């Protein structure tokens, strides 16, 4: 029975993986997108803009009503009435790391053990995942492949939603180390009434002590050249102390996040990012003083407490942004749902972020800044990579998010995906 | 046997039992005594309404022979003068486990990796389910326990009704006294009551593993007992059914957990013509109106929650306002129940420390319970409820001589219970003749260091004479000597000279003088004496005054009730209004489509007018809809909110369970969804088994009790399920799975089998019902089977199937099964591969209720595509988009909008997928799902195009009553914060004044999805 099941999964995997469209070919000819509403991703909009890119890089973004570009040898695409956006970036994602949630053999998102800074998510990143083409189809063109589990989970990398293998697909290798801060409150499931009891954790002190020792050792190790014996775990953390890598701190409760950020500072970590932040609104002065950017977990969640405002999760980006904190939106550890990330920006705009372009930044340029890739992507500006898409309408609203063109580093991406294929197959069945 | 136990001041009575021991041989000589006692000059509370002054109580052989002010005391009576003292009937507790065997908590319920137990492990001719054990008899199990009896006697209890607290049908209760004697004497009424609960207790059997399963099991057992009595006993011997039927006329006590349990239990009683006496957990005040309407007498506990430690403002966020309010209001419960004229008894059950009984009862009295009602609830009411008022509860002639002697008013904080007489036997709690030493005394010690110390001032104070407190002035120093008083002997340790140490003085009392001798620290013998000089400086009266002040403050600042009892609850239940929404863009869902600048008039809960520039009737509330969008409310075809449990997974079919039995109107998700424009939901059973349970169709009327939420006259629905959940494919430990089926082949056979049986069952009853009355008298009636009833309703097109489904092969299968057996499937829910056989679905006439874009979470959703809804719709299937998720239901409008993105639905068609189409699938489209004159006024006013991500409801109304108003949100949140702040202050001062506190913890009820089985590891959809 078991064997049969495995065989079954193997067969379906083989057949279906083979159906993803081939990765796009490198850009050979300059392309100009003409006449669209260009959302730069930094808050600005050009209503009748032209976006031109060559060899994968943006060469011009101009107002088409006032500027005339030389279009000799340029492939022009008329996108008038449509919208051009920088590729949406999904941070803290498990796209490529898991395929089918309930099938263990397709899940590679977490390692056993407590301290795994040396584990690297990009190694397991599966460019043949059938999830990837589906997220491109809503404008999500970059994801941060993030490891989970333990206290220190490993390092993440920023991946493009196109490529033959992970080496092709990676945009930034090992951009940061992930830390799950031991929580002040622990949750216990109560089998008597099937409720969850949340109470002060009595197990965290040893965990924090172990973290402190590890970070102290890693910091000392980082000061050595060619240490012997070499230690893979400590070696992998060097970047934290030189500022090359972010420390991504997962914490939600205000006390946890204050404690965790203070810890990181004490340990000499140069750059840190708060991830989750479901109760970051209680620590706003602290976050501002310490210049901590926040990657919020999915806004499409329930309030944490019975008495909490019903719309608090939706309002959180606005609350933090209006207080001057750099905010990015994520779909937390969801994979297939990542395609809905643009709509979270829409929700933010509907609930307190006054400007839709500001909300767009939370899934583009803000995220790029936080991940340290803002020199490459995140806005439609000259010199940046041509990782962008064209939507028939407002991409932050599901009614109008209709993706017509996708370019990743200027490569024109085939927009086919598993869902469209099955759709077309069955349209054929019904003769429509 | 005579002397089981002697503890402390508890002195065993002198009289031996005269009744029970007649059949026992004696080791020694007979010692039967007349047992004739007269208590004279007493204040006698004969019953809560009758108090006699200067009266006499005469008892003989354990019974009351006379009571009154002119009772002549016969010769040979032992006379006790009770001048200044009071006699009360002894107290009675009718929810006790006194003398019952310890109920072992069961560990192995299966499901968490253990091997599930589907059949009964109990050997013998019993019911098939171990939770039904009406054959248990408390009188057989009862073994007197002197230590526990002692604990209760001290509190003034003389008798208890005890029963084994285990199982759903628990067996019979027995009435016993708390004397130390042979059980033969103690048992007053061997079989007094029958007991029930919703908890399967120690039964390790899988079924039932949900609340609605408990209800169904009990109902079926009751029907089976009836059948057994009429005809079943000819087919089989069944001790359980025999017992259940035999005990059906006894007073029945139902342990119902909480306020919702009271309503649930009473509903079962109504079905079988039984009025249960219902034991609650003391939150009745939160639903008093509904609780009263049941007509059930109640048994109320007296345990009150401790305040929370709220010093840390952040940590304290974890305590909900409801918990804080309950802390404040729990002591009000008994008083409010009493004022509502609900008959009730009080119990010591639930008190971890029984000594909290009196302080807590006094707290209840301070909070509005009258002393008379309190006494009734501990004497006459419980006695009457269990039909033992001929034995207990009053001190009338002929009753048992069960009474207590007190220093005064039983409920006064300084009252002392001196003696507790049981069946004519004396138990001394405190020495009633003990001298009251309280007062001021002059102490003189002679020969100390060669000089006398005279006129040292000793002050004795204390709440009661039994607990004196001592203070001695030595020179100008206040000291607190250690003193032991034993009857007339007194011994003191005093520091007469601080440098030297402790002197020990021992003496005895004669009237107002105490004399004796003692030893100084250096071993020198000294003589001493002390003489009473006057009353103590009013310490006792001061105490009671403080008590009164405390009572006054605790009753003044009590918060208001909320409906439901949740922070976001309503101060008053919303009522239908007459309302005119002016100048809105109205999405009618009717052939008129979208109407610009249109008015809608709502009155009496219905839509009464739709048109331009309508005339405003008098007293109408006008809402400006300019720039806004008015739609009918969102209907969620697949929801699991507002339920206490979801899956009865103990069997492959649980058609007998009803979700209506487990509606939880306090679920905050109701309010959250109103804020998302949802007005009605189908609350579905989960997908753990092929045939699930009966749905509850509700409107999200936040504040109403379950009955008020249910949609009246709605058709019955039932959940079926196919695929991975049914065959337990994703269970954590596949090696222990034994439940049939484990494959999709088996699933088909479950249906074939059950429907074949349902057909036979239908015929059996039809045949029987055709018989003449005369023939019926001799024929055996078929057994009523509530599971087959539900399936028979499907065959008769009176109940309709919503079937959880994913993969096309199994969908096809159910269509074929249905066709072959002559029933229809109403709706396939999830139906993520519906697009593969939309043509077959259209032909069968089945609807599809789907997710907009879910996939990839398990193997059977591998082929799920977001174009599914559009493809099914285009083939003529009625399609709705549902949530199955408390979070997603808050933005079903957005999920509907996804069908515009995927598959290019028109906005009109997309919107109907969350309104009119689910109404059609639920057979409610004649009254809901569109804006048309005459339809229910379930309306939502949106700030933008309702399909836009930027849209949010500003008003959500149901039947013309406003249940969510964005405009009022701020005020509501501020009120919530203010109430929290008030209670925090109150808790802080409670802690400051010495109350023990509990650390803030949050209890979050489970968010249910359809495949969550209780006891199982959380799964996904």
The reply to whether residue A100 touches residue B317, judged by beta carbons under 8 angstroms, is no
pLDDT digits (tens, 9 = 90+) for A87-115: 999 999 999 999 999 999 999 999 999 99
Could you list the beta-strand ranges (E) of B186-314.
187-197, 252-255, 277-279, 298-301
The 10s digit of each residue's pLDDT in B507-523 is 998 888 999 988 888 88
CB contact under 8 A, B835 and A426: yes
- Please tell me the predicted confidence (pLDDT) of residue B639: 97
What is the per-residue pLDDT for B475?
A: 77
CA distance, residue A166 to nearest chain B CA (Å): 21
3-state secondary structure string, chain A?
CHHHHHHHHHHHHHHHHCCCCCCCCCCCCEEEEEEEEEECCCCCEEEEEEEEEECCEEEEEEECCCCCCCCCCEEEEECCCCEEEECEEEEEECECCECCCCCHHHECCECCCCECCCCEHHHHCCCCCCHHHHHHCCCEEEEEECCECCCEEEEEEEEECCCCCHHHHEEEEEEEEEEECCCCEEEEEECCCCEEEEEECCCHHHHHHHHHHHHHHHHHHHCCCCCCCCCHHHHCCHHHHHCCCEEEEEECCHHHHHHHHHHHHHCCCCEEEEEECCCHHHHHHHHHHCCCCEEECCCCCCCCCCCCCCCHHHHHHHHHHHCCCCEEECCCCCCHHHHHHHHHHHHHHHCCCCCHHHHHHCCCHHHHHHHCCCCCCCCCCCCCECCEEEECCCCCCCCCCCEEEEEECCEECCCCCHHHHHHHHHHHHCCC
Chain A interface, best mutation among B686, B865, B979, by max A CB count within 10 A: B865
Q: Give the per-residue pLDDT at B538.
A: 60
pLDDT (tens digit per residue) in B178-233? 999 999 999 999 999 999 999 999 999 999 999 999 999 999 999 999 999 998 99
Output the average pLDDT for chain B. Answer: 91
pLDDT digits 0-9 by tens, A370-396: 999 999 999 999 999 999 999 999 999
From chain A, the residues in CB contact with B980 under 8 A are 307
Contact call for B1014 and A194, based on CB within 8 A = yes
CB nearest A198 (choices: B854, B973, B1001): B1001
Please name the residues between 267 and 326 in chain A that touch chain B, using a CB distance below 8 Å: 282, 300-303, 305-307, 309-311
**SS (HEC) of B120-158:** CCCCCCCCCCCCECCCCEHHHHCCCCHHHHHHHHHHCEE
pLDDT the model gives residue A280: 96
Compute how many other C-beta atoms are within 10 angstroms of the C-beta atom of residue A67.
Answer: 12
Instruction: Kindly determine whether residue A418 and residue B865, on different chains, have CB atoms separated by under 8 Å.
Output: yes
- Whether chain B has a CB inside 8 Å of the CB on A416: the answer is no
Q: Which residues in chain B are classed under CATH 2.30.40.10?
A: 560-633+929-986
The answer to whether B853 faces chain A, any CB pair under 8 Å, is yes
Range B560-633+929-986 has CATH code 3.40.640.10 = no
Look up the ipTM and state it: 0.94
Section A37-51 average pLDDT: 97
Q: Are strands B63-68 and A195-200 parallel, antiparallel or unpaired?
A: unpaired
Whether A197 sits inside 8 A of B1001 (CB atoms) is yes
Domain spanning A88-375: which CATH class is it, in words? alpha beta
What 3 state SS string does B449-464 have?
CCEEEEEEEEEEECCC
**CA neighbor of A183 nearest in space, from A134, A115, A253, A248:** A253
Residues 6+ apart with CB under 8 A from B329: B285, B558, B559, B561
Contact at CB, B317 and A191, closer than 8 angstroms: no
- Residue B400, chain A, CB below 8 Å: the answer is no
pLDDT per residue as tens digits for the range B54-99: 999 999 999 999 999 999 999 999 999 999 999 999 999 999 999 9
- Put simply, the answer to whether B318 touches A194 (Cβ < 8 Å) is no
For B894, the closest of A100, A398, A418 (CB atoms) is A398
Is pLDDT of A18 > 80?
A: no
Does the beta-carbon distance from A306 to B949 stay under 8 Å?
Answer: no
The answer to whether residue A15 scores a pLDDT higher than 70 is no
Which chain B residue lies closest to A201 (C-alpha atoms)? Answer: B1001
Q: Shortest CB distance from A397 goes to which of B948, B969, B1014?
A: B948
Residues 28-57 of A with CB under 8 A from B: none
Q: Find chain B residues with C-beta within 8 A of A109's C-beta.
A: none
Report residue B1019's pLDDT band, with 50, 70 and 90 as the boundaries: very low
- Asked if A402 is an interface residue toward chain B (Cβ–Cβ < 8 A), one would say yes
| Average pLDDT of the segment spanning B461-479 | 83
From chain A, pick out residues whose CB is under 8 angstroms from the CB of B1019: 102
CB contact under 8 Å between B320 and A305, yes or no, is yes
Give the CATH number of domain B439-537; options: 2.60.120.10, 1.10.1380.10, 2.40.128.120, 3.50.50.60: 2.40.128.120
Residue of A404, A379, A411, A415 whose CA lies nearest to A77: A404
What is the pLDDT averaged over residues B722-733?
A: 90
CATH 3.20.20.140 segments of chain B? 91-428, 634-923
User: What is the CATH T-level fold of the domain B91-428, as seen in this structure?
Assistant: TIM Barrel (3.20.20)
Q: Would you call B897 and A350 a contact, using CB atoms and an 8 Å cutoff?
A: no
Domain B634-923 has CATH 3.40.50.300: no
Kindly give the interhelix angle for A204-222 and A254-266, rounded to the nearest 10 degrees: 30
Quote the pLDDT of residue B1011: 55
Distance from CA of B936 to the nearest CA of A (A): 26
> Inter-chain contact B314–A282, Cβ cutoff 8 Å?
yes
Dump the DSSP string for B560-600: PP-BSSSTT-BSS------EEEEEEEEE-SSTT-EEEEEEE
Of B729, B853, B862, the CB nearest to A100: B862
In this prediction the pTM is 0.93
Q: Which residues pair with B530 in a beta bridge?
A: B443, B514
For residue A341, what pLDDT band results from cuts at 50, 70 and 90? very high
How many other CB atoms are found less than 10 A from the CB of residue B842?
17
Q: Do B950 and A346 touch (CB under 8 A)?
A: yes
B842 interface with A at CB cutoff 8 Å: no
For A184, which residue in chain B has the nearest alpha carbon?
A: B315
pLDDT band at A2 (very low <50, low <70, confident <90, very high): very low
Q: How confident is the model at residue A193 (pLDDT cuts 50, 70, 90)?
A: low
Q: Least CB-CB distance to A401: which of B901, B976, B1014?
A: B901
pLDDT in tens, B258-309: 999 999 999 999 999 999 999 999 999 999 999 999 999 999 999 999 999 9
Give the residue with greater pLDDT, B57 vs B558: B57
Give the CA dihedral B868, B874, B878, B882, nearest 10 degrees: 30
């Amino acid at each position: 029975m078991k064997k049969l099941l495995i065989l079954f999964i193997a067969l379906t995997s083989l057949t279906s993986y083979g159906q993803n469209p081939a990765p796009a070919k490198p850009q050979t000819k300059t392309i100009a997108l003409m006449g669209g509403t260009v959302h730069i991703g930094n808050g600005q909009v050009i209503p009748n803009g032209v976006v031109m890119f060559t060899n994968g890089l943006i060469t011009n973004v101009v107002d088409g009503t006032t500027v005339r570009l030389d279009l000799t040898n340029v492939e022009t695409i008329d996108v008038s009435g449509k919208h051009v956006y920088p590729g949406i970036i999904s941070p803290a994602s498990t796209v490529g790391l898991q395929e089918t949630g309930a099938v263990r053999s397709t899940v590679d998102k977490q390692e056993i053990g407590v301290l795994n800074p040396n584990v690297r998510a990009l190694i397991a990143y599966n460019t043949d995942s059938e999830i990837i083409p589906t997220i491109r189809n809503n404008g999500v063109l970059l994801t941060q492949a993030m490891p989970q589990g333990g206290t220190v989970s490993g390092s993440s990398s920023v991946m493009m939603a196109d490529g033959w293998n992970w080496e092709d697909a990676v945009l930034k290798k090992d951009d940061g180390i992930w830390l799950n801060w031991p929580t002040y409150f622990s949750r216990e499931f109560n089998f008597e009434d099937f409720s969850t009891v949340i109470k002060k954790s009595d197990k965290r002190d040893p965990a924090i002590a172990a973290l402190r020792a590890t970070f102290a050792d890693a910091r000392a190790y980082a000061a050595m050249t060619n240490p012997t014996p070499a230690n893979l775990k400590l070696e992998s953390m060097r970047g934290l102390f030189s500022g090359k890598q972010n420390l991504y701190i997962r914490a939600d409760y205000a006390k946890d996040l204050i404690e965790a950020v203070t810890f990181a500072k004490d340990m000499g970590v140069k750059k840190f990012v708060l991830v989750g932040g479901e109760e970051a609104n209680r620590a706003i002065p602290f976050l501002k003083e310490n210049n901590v950017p926040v990657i919020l977990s999915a806004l499409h969640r329930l309030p944490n407490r019975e008495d909490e405002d019903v719309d608090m999760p939706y309002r959180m980006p606005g609350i933090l942004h209006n207080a001057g904190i750099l905010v990015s939106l994520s779909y937390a550890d969801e994979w297939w749902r990542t395609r809905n990330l643009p709509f979270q920006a829409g929700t933010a705009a509907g609930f307190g972020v006054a400007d839709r372009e500001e909300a767009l930044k939370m899934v583009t340029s803000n995220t790029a800044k936080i991940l340290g890739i803002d020199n490459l992507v995140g806005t439609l500006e000259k010199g940046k990579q041509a990782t962008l898409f064209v939507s028939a309408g407002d991409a932050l609203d599901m009614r109008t998010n209709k993706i017509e063109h996708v370019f990743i580093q200027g490569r024109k991406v085939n927009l086919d995906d598993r869902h469209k294929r099955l759709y077309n197959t069955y349209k054929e069945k019904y003769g429509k | 046997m005579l002397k089981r136990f002697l503890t402390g001041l508890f002195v065993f009575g002198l009289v031996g039992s005269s009744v029970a021991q007649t059949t026992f041989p004696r080791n020694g000589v007979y010692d039967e005594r007349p047992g004739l006692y007269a208590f004279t000059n007493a204040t006698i509370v004969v019953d809560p309404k009758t108090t006699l002054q200067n009266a006499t109580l005469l008892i003989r052989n354990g019974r009351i022979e006379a009571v009154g002010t002119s009772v002549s005391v016969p010769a040979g009576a032992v006379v006790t003068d009770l001048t200044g003292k009071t006699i009360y009937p002894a107290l009675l507790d009718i929810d006790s486990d006194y003398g019952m065997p310890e109920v072992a908590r069961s560990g192995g319920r299966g499901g968490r990796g253990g091997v599930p137990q589907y059949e009964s492990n109990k050997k013998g001719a019993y019911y098939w389910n171990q939770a039904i054990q009406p054959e248990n008899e408390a009188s057989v199990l009862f073994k007197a326990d002197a230590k526990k009896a002692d604990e209760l006697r001290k509190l003034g209890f003389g008798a208890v009704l005890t029963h084994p607290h285990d199982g759903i049908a628990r067996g019979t209760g027995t009435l016993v006294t708390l004397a130390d004697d042979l059980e033969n004497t103690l048992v007053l009424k061997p079989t007094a009551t029958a007991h029930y609960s919703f908890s399967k207790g120690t039964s390790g059997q899988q079924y039932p593993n949900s609340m609605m399963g408990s209800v169904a099991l009990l109902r079926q057992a009751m029907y089976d007992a009836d059948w057994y009595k009429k005809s079943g006993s000819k087919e089989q011997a069944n001790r359980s059914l025999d017992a259940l039927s035999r005990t059906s006329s006894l007073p029945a006590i139902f342990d119902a957990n909480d306020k919702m349990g009271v309503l649930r239990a009473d509903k079962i009683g109504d079905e079988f013509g039984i009025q249960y006496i219902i034991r609650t957990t003391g939150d009745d005040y939160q639903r008093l109106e509904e609780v009263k309407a049941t007509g059930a007498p109640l048994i109320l506990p007296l345990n009150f929650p401790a305040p929370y430690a709220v010093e840390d403002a952040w940590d304290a966020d974890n305590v909900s306002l409801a918990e804080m309010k309950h802390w404040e209001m729990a002591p009000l419960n008994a008083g409010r129940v009493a004022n509502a004229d609900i008959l009730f008894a009080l119990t010591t059950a639930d008190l971890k420390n029984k000594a909290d009984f009196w302080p807590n009862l006094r707290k209840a009295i301070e909070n509005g319970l009258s002393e008379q009602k309190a006494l009734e609830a501990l004497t006459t009411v419980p006695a009457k409820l269990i039909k033992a008022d001929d034995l207990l509860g009053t001190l009338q002639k002929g009753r048992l001589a069960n009474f207590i002697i007190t220093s005064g008013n039983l409920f006064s904080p300084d009252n002392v219970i001196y003696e507790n007489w049981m069946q004519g036997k004396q138990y001394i709690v405190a020495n009633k003749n003990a001298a009251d030493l309280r007062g001021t005394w002059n102490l003189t010690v002679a020969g100390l260091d060669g000089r006398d110390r005279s006129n040292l001032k000793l002050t004795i104070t204390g709440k009661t004479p039994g607990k004196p407190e001592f203070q001695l002035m030595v020179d100008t120093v206040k000291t607190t000597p250690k003193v032991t008083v034993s009857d007339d002997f007194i011994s003191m340790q005093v520091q007469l000279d601080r440098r030297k140490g402790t002197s020990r003085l021992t003496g005895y009392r004669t009237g107002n003088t105490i004399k004796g001798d003692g030893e100084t620290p250096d071993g020198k013998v000294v003589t001493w004496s002390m003489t009473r000089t006057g009353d103590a400086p009013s310490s006792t009266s001061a105490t009671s005054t403080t008590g009164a002040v405390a009572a006054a403050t605790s009753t003044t600042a009590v918060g208001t009730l909320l409906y439901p009892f949740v922070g976001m609850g309503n101060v008053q239940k919303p009522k239908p209004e007459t309302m005119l929404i002016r100048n809105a863009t109205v999405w009618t869902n009717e052939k008129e489509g979208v109407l610009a600048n249109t008015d809608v008039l709502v009155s009496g809960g219905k839509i009464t007018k739709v048109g331009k520039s309508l005339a405003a009737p008098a007293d109408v509330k006008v809402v400006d809809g300019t720039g806004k969008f008015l739609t009918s409310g969102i209907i969620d075809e697949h929801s699991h909110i507002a339920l206490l449990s979801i899956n009865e997974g103990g069997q492959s079919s649980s058609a007998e369970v009803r979700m209506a039995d487990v509606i939880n109107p306090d679920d905050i998700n109701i309010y959250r969804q109103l804020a998302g424009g949802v007005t009605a939901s189908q609350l579905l059973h989960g997908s753990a088994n092929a045939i699930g349970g009966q749905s509850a169709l509700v409107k999200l009327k936040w504040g109403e009790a379950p009955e008020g939420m249910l949609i009246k006259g709605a058709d019955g629905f039932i959940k079926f399920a196919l695929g991975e959940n049914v065959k337990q494919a994703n269970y954590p430990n596949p090696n222990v799975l034994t439940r049939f089926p484990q494959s999709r082949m088996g699933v088909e056979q479950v249906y074939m089998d059950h429907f074949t049986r349902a057909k036979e069952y239908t015929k059996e009853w039809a045949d029987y019902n055709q018989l003449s009355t005369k023939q019926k008298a001799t024929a055996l009636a078929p057994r009523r089977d509530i599971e087959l009833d539900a399936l028979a309703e499907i065959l008769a097109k009176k109940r309709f199937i919503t079937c959880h489904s994913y993969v096309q092969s199994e969908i096809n299968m159910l269509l074929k099964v249905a066709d072959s057996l002559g029933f229809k499937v109403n709706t396939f829910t999830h139906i993520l591969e519906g697009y593969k056989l939309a043509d077959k679905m259209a032909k069968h006439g089945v609807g599809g209720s789907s997710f907009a874009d879910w996939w990839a979470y398990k193997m059977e959703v591998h082929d799920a595509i977001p174009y599914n809804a559009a493809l099914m719709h285009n083939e003529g299937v009625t399609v709705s988009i549902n949530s199955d998720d408390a979070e997603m239901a808050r933005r079903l409008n957005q999920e509907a909008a996804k069908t515009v993105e995927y598959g290019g639905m028109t906005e009109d068609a997309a919107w109907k997928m969350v309104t009119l189409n689910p109404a059609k699938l639920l057979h409610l489209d004649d009254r809901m799902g569109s804006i048309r004159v005459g339809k229910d006024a379930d309306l939502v006013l949106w700030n933008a195009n309702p399909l836009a991500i930027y849209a949010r409801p500003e008003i959500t109304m149901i039947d013309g009553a406003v249940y969510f108003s964005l405009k009022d949100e701020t005020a509501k949140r501020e009120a919530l914060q203010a109430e929290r702040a008030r209670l925090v202050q109150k808790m802080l001062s409670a802690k400051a004044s010495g109350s023990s506190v509990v650390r803030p913890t949050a209890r979050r009820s489970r968010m249910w999805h359809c495949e969550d089985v209780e006891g199982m590891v959380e799964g996904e959809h």
